Amino acid sequence: EADIYQTPRYLVIGTGKKITLECSQTMGHDKMYWYQQDPGMELHLIHYSYGVNSTEKGDLSSESTVSRIRTEHFPLTLESARPSHTSQYLCASSASAHTEAFFGQGTRLTVV
Amino acid sequence: ILNVEQSPQSLHVQEGDSTNFTCSFPSSNFYALHWYRWETAKSPEALFVMTLNGDEKKKGRISATLNTKEGYSYLYIKGSQPEDSATYLCAFIGAGNMLTFGGGTRLMVKP
C-alpha cells in the first residue's frame, strides 16, 4: 500500500490568498513530482525533485513554487491564488526511474 | 518538451472484446516506460515498468510490449470486463529523469 499523503483533499479559497498544498511520503523515495490535472484527466508535470535541496520546473509553466528540505516532504505553494489555478493537483514519488511511482489522493483546489 | 502520445483517446468496447492501445515516445535517451491504470475517484496505480527493448510484461488479462528503437509500446487487454473501465496512462522517463505522461486512453467496457 502506498504511503504518500496529500492535504488538504479539498480547498476553496479566495483570489489573492497564499496557499500551501502538502505532500508527504514515508517510503524514503528520492524522486517526487507534482502534477496538475486538466479537465480531460491529462497529467501535466509542474515540478519535480531528485532529492533534498534539488527542485526543477516541469514541462507546464506554473506560478507555483516548491521546496524539498526533507526527503519525505514536498510542499507546493501559490503566493497569490487566482481562478486560473483551479484544478486537481497530484503528488507522486518513486525510488528510481526503473520503479513504479506512487500517487497521493490529490488536492482539488477551487479559487473563487 | 517531451512528446508522449497515446491513441486512441477513448474506446468503447463490449464485454469480452479484446483491445489494445498505443503509446509513442521519443526513441532517444530512453530510461523507462511506465503504464498506469486510473479509475475515477482513485489515484493512478502502476501496471508495468518496462526498461528493455523487446520487453513483454503480463498481469492477468493485461499485457504490454515495448519497442524502444522505434519509440512505441502497446497495452493489450484480453476479454475486456466492465471492471477494466478506466483511463490507461503511459509515462516516459528519459535522460532528464522526469516522469512525463501521455494524454491517456479512456476505456469503457459495456456489459
| Predicted confidence (pLDDT) per residue in A84-99, tens digit | 999 999 999 999 888 9
Query: How many other CB atoms are there within 10 angstroms of residue B59's CB atom?
Result: 11
Q: What average pLDDT does range B62-91 have in this prediction?
A: 97
If we measure between CA atoms, which residue out of A36, A67, A73 comes closest to residue A54?
Answer: A67
Q: What mean pLDDT value characterizes chain A? A: 93
Q: Is the pLDDT of residue B65 over 90?
A: yes
- Nearest-CA neighbor of A102 among B59, B88, B38, B44? B44
Q: Which residue of B29, B31, B90, B100 to mutate against A (max A Cβ within 10 Å)?
A: B100
Average pLDDT of B45-66? 96
The whole-angstrom separation of Cα A22 and Cα B65 is 36
Going from the C-alpha of A80 to that of each of A11, A18, A37, A89, the distances in angstroms are 14, 5, 20, 16
Q: Closest Cα partner for A76 from A23, A37, A36, A12?
A: A23
Helix (H) or strand (E) holding A82: none
A101 touches chain B (CB under 8 A): yes
Mean per-residue pLDDT, A48-68: 90
Q: What is the mean pLDDT of residues A8-14?
A: 96
CA Rg, chain B, in Å?
13
Predicted local confidence at residue A1, as pLDDT: 59
Cα distance between the two ends of chain B = 40
SS3 (DSSP) at A83 = helix
Cα A5 to chain centroid, rounded: 11
Q: What is the mean pLDDT of chain B?
A: 94
Mean of the pLDDT values across residues B21-44?
94
SS3 A84: helix
pLDDT at B33 over 70: yes
The alpha-carbon gap from A31 to the nearest alpha carbon of chain B, in Å, equals 9
| Selected residue of A103, A107, A108 to mutate for chain B interface (largest B Cβ count, 10 A) | A103
**pLDDT at position B31 over 80:** yes
pLDDT score recorded for residue B40 = 87
Give the pLDDT score at B8: 96
Residue whose entry in the numeric block shows the C-alpha cell 504511503: A3
**C-alpha separations of A26 from A47, A52, A93, B49 in Å:** 20, 14, 10, 22
Predicted local distance difference test score (pLDDT) of residue B100? 92
Nearest CA in chain A to B97: A97
Rounded Cα distance between A34 and B22, Å, is 25
CB pairs under 8 A between A and B: 62
- Cell 476479454, residue? B79
Q: Which pLDDT belongs to residue A9? A: 96
For residue A98, what pLDDT is reported?
87
